């Protein structure tokens, strides 16, 4: 007999695992999260949160705490390719006056690093009822038609125990065992480079742009690497490429790292307080599948992306959120099992865009010798984070356009895209449409669409500027059906005929539930 039951078991407590755990707990799911590590990540990596990520974090009440993790750095980030911090600048990627698209979302982008964000997610997940255990590892698991049985081990004592869960979420990273156990292969360019990572404390304010994260890709005669200031005062990160065929971590003692830091910072008298020196691999991988029956891959278990672009952590949080709302709907009986097919259908193509776009950034920043026709085109950051189009059985697309993205500054309002941010009036208060979408929501200005439709929220919106009618493409007669993740699932410009039945039938189609009436038609 199992020692513990859970509706969902999450293996791993990094950004993807904690996000899945947190968003499942928010929806009342009995979730158990485990991690083999002693605690959350102490490393200031995966810095920066997109507008979309901040919108998701706002839903669970932690957006302000995450933003506070980069207090004083509200000006964004400056990114340059240079010889050193004060040396020749070869290329400026993000200028001091970069437009961050602040009119596209009610949220500002964040600049907090992973060592700040993970404890925030963990605390909130526990507040919402999740159980998260550290120093607890997955020994093995088996799948049955209706559940997963996992054997876990408490590392301090060696005690083994079992958990029976409806579903298992593999958030155990790129070296995790779940993907390999399932026999899921991965494709991609593989290892790109090996780095020595140096976390150090030093007062480098004179070299940094005030109120911004400073990131330099360094191509120096003495080394190739990168420098990044963090949101922790005096805390910085320095990386150096090395060849593991000829060197190892042991060849980079503190004295050598300090000397390389003096070259990188143009500060010959610099006396850095080196906190940690580690070796890590930069790679590009995409798993062939994101699902095997009742087991799902998220974060680095699903894809490994170069950090050039800052989307690895954001994609991990997005994976956790996307899977969580779909799992919660199925577990609670609000959706059919087939809704889970939409996770891989939507997130794997997105992950490929992220990996390809990050590799396109990697070449000019770290490896210009790799430039050539096989390098993917660079992808506009806002197009990728706010303009991606979901395609799956949970979207009713009614056009033939195959483009994977659109310009979020000129949204079409078509199914599959994120519902645009428009400031509206609701109950006499101005707010963003983005903040409405916590459940299935119908956006309409036509009173004929409104009524008592089970499982559907129909807000009484005022649109005095006609901006909503334009950006959502519904005019004054139509309607747009928005999923709980803020993605447009269906749209019409026509007035309703039998709105209650039409909406109930369309909602059943989108959630893979049996239709409420023998007439199996959907609105087109």
pLDDT digits 0-9 by tens, 347-365:
999 999 999 999 999 999 9
Q: What six digits make up the tokens of 351?
A: 């992950």
Is 391 domain-assigned? no
Q: Given 283, 313, 329, which residue is the final one in a domain?
A: 283
Whether 217 is catalytic is yes
**Looking at 264, 283, 302, which one is the last position of a domain?**
283
Same domain for 324 and 231, yes or no, is: no
Residue 357, in any domain of the structure: yes
- Structural domain includes residue 345: yes
What would the pLDDT profile of 387-423 be if each residue is shown by its tens digit? 999 999 999 999 999 999 999 999 999 999 999 999 9
DSSP secondary structure of 332-393: TTSS-GGGGHHHHHHHHHHHHHHHHHHHHHHHHHH-GGG-STTSPPP--HHHHHHSB---ST
Closest to 422 (Cα-Cα) out of 380, 375, 376, 480: 480
Task: Judge if 275 and 302 occupy the same domain.
Answer: no
CA–CA gap between residue 261 and residue 273 (Å, rounded): 11
Label residue 521 by pLDDT band (50, 70, 90): very low
Average pLDDT over residues 312-316: 97
Tell me: do 156 and 211 sit in the same domain.
no
> In terms of Cα–Cα distance, which of 511, 430, 416, 516 is closest to 465?
430
Same domain for 60 and 140: yes
Domain that holds residue 16: 4-71+109-186+287-381
Are 178 and 192 found together in one domain? no
Please, which pLDDT band fits residue 522 given cuts at 50, 70 and 90?
Answer: very low
Buried b (16+ CB within 10 A) or exposed e, 502-514: bbbbbbbbbbbbe
Q: Do 202 and 351 fall within a single domain?
A: no
pLDDT(60) > 90:
yes
| Choice between 229 and 72, residue whose per-residue pLDDT is larger | 229
Task: Answer with the residue of higher pLDDT: 44 or 298.
Answer: 298
47: in domain: yes
Q: Which is higher by pLDDT, 76 or 235?
A: 235
* pLDDT over 60 (residue 77): yes
Closest CA to 163 of 319, 47, 16, 30: 30
Catalytic residue (choose from 217, 252, 388, 472): 217
Q: Looking at the structure, do residues 15 and 148 belong to the same domain, yes or no? A: yes
DSSP letter for each residue of 62-99: -HHHHHHTTTT-TT-EEEEEESSSSS-EEEEEE-TT--
Give 465's contacts (C-beta < 8 A, 6+ positions apart): none
Is residue 98 in a domain?
no
Give the mean model confidence (pLDDT) for residues 428-455: 92
For residue 232, pLDDT beyond 90: no
- pLDDT higher at 246 or 451: 246
- 44 and 16 housed in the same domain: yes
Q: Are strands 479-482 and 273-287 parallel, antiparallel or unpaired?
A: unpaired
**pLDDT value at 201 more than 70:** yes
Identify the CATH number of the domain in which residue 376 sits.
Answer: 3.50.50.60
Element (H, E) at 421: none
- Residue 103 falls inside a structural domain: no
* Confidence label for 44 from pLDDT (cuts 50, 70 and 90): confident
**Within a domain: residue 238?**
yes
* One domain, residues 500 and 434: yes
Q: Would you say 184 and 287 are in contact if contact means Cβ atoms under 8 Å apart?
A: yes
CATH number at residue 445: 3.40.30.120
Helical H segments across 173-274, by residue range:
177-182, 254-265
Residue 321: partners with Cβ closer than 8 Å, 6 or more residues away: 19, 20, 23, 56, 485
- Which two three-digit tokens encode residue 488? 């447009």
Whole-number pLDDT of residue 520 = 44
Looking at 355, 381, 407, which one is the last position of a domain? 381
> What is the average pLDDT score of the chain?
93
Please give the pLDDT value at position 99.
Answer: 62
Q: Taking the model in full, what pTM does it have?
A: 0.95
Backbone angles phi, psi at 399, to 5 degrees: -140, 175
Domain count, the chain: 3
Instruction: Give the CA distances from residue 308 to residues 312, 364, 378, in Å, rounded to whole numbers and listed in that order.
Output: 9, 10, 11
Quick one: average pLDDT of 250-256?
97
Q: Does residue 516 lie within any of the structural domains?
A: no
Q: With contact defined as beta carbons under 8 Å apart, do 196 and 237 qualify?
A: no
Q: Residue 209's domain is classified under what CATH number?
A: 3.30.9.10
For residues 425 and 490, membership in a common domain is answered with yes
């Amino acid at each position: 007999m199992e020692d513990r039951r859970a509706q969902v078991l999450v293996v791993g407590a990094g950004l993807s695992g904690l996000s899945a755990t947190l968003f499942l707990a928010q929806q009342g799911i009995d979730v158990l999260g485990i991690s083999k590590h002693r605690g959350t990540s102490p490393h200031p990596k995966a810095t920066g949160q997109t507008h979309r990520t901040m919108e998701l974090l706002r839903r669970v009440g932690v957006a302000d705490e995450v933003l506070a993790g980069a207090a004083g750095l509200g000006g964004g980030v400056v990114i340059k390719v240079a010889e050193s911090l004060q040396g020749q600048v070869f290329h400026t990627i993000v200028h001091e006056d970069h437009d961050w698209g602040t009119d596209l979302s009610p949220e500002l982008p964040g600049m907090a690093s992973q060592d700040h964000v993970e404890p925030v997610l963990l605390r909130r997940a526990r507040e919402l009822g999740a159980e998260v255990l550290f120093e607890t590892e997955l020994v093995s698991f088996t799948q049955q038609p209706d559940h997963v049985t996992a054997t876990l081990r408490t590392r301090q004592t060696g005690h083994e125990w079992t958990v029976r869960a409806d579903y298992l979420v593999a958030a155990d990273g790129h070296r995790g065992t779940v993907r390999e156990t399932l026999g899921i292969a991965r494709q991609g360019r593989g290892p790109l480079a090996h780095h020595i990572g140096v976390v150090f404390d030093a007062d480098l304010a004179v070299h940094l742009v005030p109120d911004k994260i400073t990131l330099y890709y360094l191509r120096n005669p003495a080394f190739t690497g990168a420098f990044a200031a963090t949101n922790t005062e005096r805390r910085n990160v320095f990386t150096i490429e090395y060849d593991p065929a000829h060197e190892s971590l042991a060849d980079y003692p503190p004295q050598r790292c300090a000397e390389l830091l003096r070259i990188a910072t143009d500060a010959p008298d610099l006396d850095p307080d080196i906190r940690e020196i580690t070796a890590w691999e930069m790679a590009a991988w995409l798993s062939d599948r994101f699902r095997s029956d009742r087991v799902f891959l998220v974060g680095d278990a699903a894809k490994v992306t170069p950090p050039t672009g800052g989307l690895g952590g954001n994609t991990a949080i997005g994976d956790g959120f996307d899977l969580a709302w779909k799992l919660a709907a199925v577990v609670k009986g609000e959706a059919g099992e087939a809704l889970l097919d939409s996770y891989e259908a939507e997130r794997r193509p997105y992950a490929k865009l992220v990996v390809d776009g990050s590799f396109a950034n990697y070449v000019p920043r770290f490896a210009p010798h790799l430039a050539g026709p096989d390098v993917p085109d660079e992808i506009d950051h806002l197009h990728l984070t706010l303009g991606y189009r979901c395609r799956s059985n949970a979207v009713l697309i009614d056009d033939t356009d195959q483009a994977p993205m659109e310009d979020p500054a000129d949204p079409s309002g078509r199914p599959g895209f994120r519902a645009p941010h428009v400031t509206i009036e609701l109950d006499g208060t101005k707010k963003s449409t983005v903040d409405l979408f916590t459940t299935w929501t119908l956006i309409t200005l036509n009173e004929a669409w409104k009524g008592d439709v089970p499982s559907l929220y129909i807000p009484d919106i005022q649109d005095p500027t006609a901006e909503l009618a334009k950006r959502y493409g519904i005019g004054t007669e139509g309607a747009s059906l928005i999923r709980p993740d803020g993605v447009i699932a269906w749209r019409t410009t026509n007035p309703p005929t039998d709105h209650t039945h039409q909406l109930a039938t369309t909602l059943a189609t989108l959630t893979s539930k049996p239709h409420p009436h023998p007439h199996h038609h959907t609105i087109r």
